Structure 1
């Protein structure tokens, strides 16, 4: 069954084959983890959301409609779990940025500057409304097409385009300071 397609694995899971869902997750775990990280405010939230999403996918696999890809279906479940958690929490927590997530710098001053820049950009990104941030992350950071993003989020392509455009304008306003070369060290 390891060589089966994603749709075959999901169908096998629905029929009760014990290892089918595990194989499906093995194939997509990295992508799903990255999706949870990009959609959540912290690694802890991402882990909780991913766990909730996978439990939900496991439980509701029989509702999968074969006209979409299994990966897109799983992606949408993860995104929805993250958005549900954000709505439940209502209050935003501090952004988790650690030196481990930063690129290695040659000089200590560069490492601190990179860390600071990452903080500012992360803060600007997380200041966006959830719908705008998600559309922008999926199209710009994950490299998904507008059509794929629209399908995954269950909205029209025009909605994705307008959310991305609004997000870019807001980010540009928040990060205007960096356009002046004199402000960069």
Structure 2
């Protein structure tokens, strides 16, 4: 009934649909994206899409099911996009890390080490890597990284320490595996 009222031009009908379904839609988005801010964005984008494409609602399912499908598809698209962006960032950050660790070094050596460093970063667990990249590569403070990741500042400190320990272990393994190399 509310969808028919909306299509007939009732300006409050869609608002009532939102009011009735918003909490469930947010739960659906949160389940897919695992981040409150991203879930809120996905719900907002989905509601705009639903508003604009309300004329395509066929009535074969409930309006709630139709809205949940839109939110789930939007959230999945956002998750895929975020995953691609994170993979792209790791490659760039590996290059930045190589340059940062070897300031004044021979450019040929820096280029040779870029792939090794990117590979080393990729071996650090994702949560630690994200935190490490934000703080050590992108220069965010611990407080800023905590806000971006929506975690306590103590968790940021812990992840940085664990990432540093993992990197040190990797360097030690490389050094022991290839004596005479740095």
TM-score by length of 1: 0.46
Structure showing greater radius of gyration is 2
Q: Which has the higher helix share?
A: 2
Larger RCO, structure (CA 8 Å, separation 6 or more)? 1
